[in-house]
Structure 1
Amino acid sequence: MQDEIRRGTICIEDIEIGMTRRLRKVIDDSDIELFGRVSTDRNPVHFDDDYARDTIFGGRIAHGMLTAGLISAIIGEQLPGHGTIYMKQSLVFLAPVRPGDMVEAEVKVAAIDYGRRRVTLECRCAVGDTVVLKGEALVMAPSAKFD
């Protein structure tokens, strides 16, 4: 299940410090399988229950970059949205996401360079009260002047 989200574009001229957008998604086995196929990451910690049980995670987990992909979805679809150019992303993985977990991703505007159309975004993903991923993104936002 995915929350209804506001899709579209927020141009640099309309972006403000503190603007926030969120996305919630249950990560299921089909997401993990598809991500493994697309990325070619077939690490058994994501696919093999017996193998994963003997790891530090004690069971299967989703790919970290699958979780991080929710941040990309917010940036590309909501804030700033369509026309955004991803320039840089830092990530720290803090806890695993397991099949069936509801992940809430959030992106918040931390800094803006209007002249260069650069927006710095604080990024985080959580499962319940547990932050599983945090980081920062730098993007070039679209401009109404260039439509």
Structure 2
Amino acid sequence: MLDNMPRGTICIEELEIGMRRHLRKQVTDRDIEMFAEVSTDCNPVHLDDDYAMETVFEGRIAHGMLTAGLISAVIGEQLPGHGTIYLGQTLKFIAPVRPGDTVLAEVEVKSIDHSRRRVTLDCRCLVDGKPVLKGEAVVLAPSKKFD
């Protein structure tokens, strides 16, 4: 299940403080397995029910970076969108995401440096309205001047 806002590009000339975009995605077992394969992170807390039951999480959890990847999707597809270049990201993992959870990934424009095409974005992911991840990204935004 994937629910998100229109994809495309918002050039730096059109960005405004407080502008927001989001996507909503249900994290599936297949997502976790594919992420493990691509990243080569096969930690059993993500893949093995019996092992994961014996951990502090008392069950399997999604990779934190899989959840963070949803933030990347909002930035790269919606805000600012196509042509955006990541310069940096901070992340704080607050709670686990489990198979079957629906994650709401949200990005909001915090500041804009037009002269350097730098945009700072507040980033967060929620499950059932509760934060599971928060952070800040700095990106190089696309510009109409460079089309």
* Offset at residue 4 of structure 1 (A): 4.0
Q: Deviations over 1:24-49 (max 9, x none)?
A: 00000000000000000000000000
Q: Quote the residue 1:26 is aligned against.
A: 26
SS at match of 1:134: strand
Counterpart of 1:133, as a letter, is: L
1:71 aligns with 2:71: yes
- In the aligned structure 2, how far is the partner of 1:35 from the partner of 1:87? 23
CA distance in 2, matches of 1:4, 1:102: 12
Does 2:45 align with 1:51?
no
Question: Is 2:53–2:60's contact at 8 Å kept on the other side of the alignment?
Answer: yes
Give, in whole Å, the separation in 2 of the partners of 1:81 and 1:61.
Answer: 29
Percent identity, please.
Answer: 71
Partner of 1:11: 11
- The gaps in structure 1 that reach 5 residues or longer are none
User: Which string of whole-angstrom CA distances, capped at 9 and with x for unpartnered residues, describes residues 62-118 of structure 1?
Assistant: 000000000000000000000000000000000000000000000000000011000
Aligned to 1:83: 83
Corresponding residue of 1:106: 106
The CA distance in 2 between the partners of 1:120 and 1:26, in whole Å, is 27
| Correspondence for 1:138 | 138
Is 1:126 the counterpart of 2:126 in the alignment? Answer: yes
For residues 32 and 4 of structure 1, the distance between their equivalents in structure 2, rounded to whole angstroms, comes to 20
User: RMSD of aligned C-alpha atoms?
Assistant: 0.5
Shift of 1:129: 2.0
May I ask how many residue pairs the two structures share in their alignment? 147
Q: Which runs of 5+ in 2 are unaligned?
A: none
Structure 1 residue identity aligned to 2:88: K
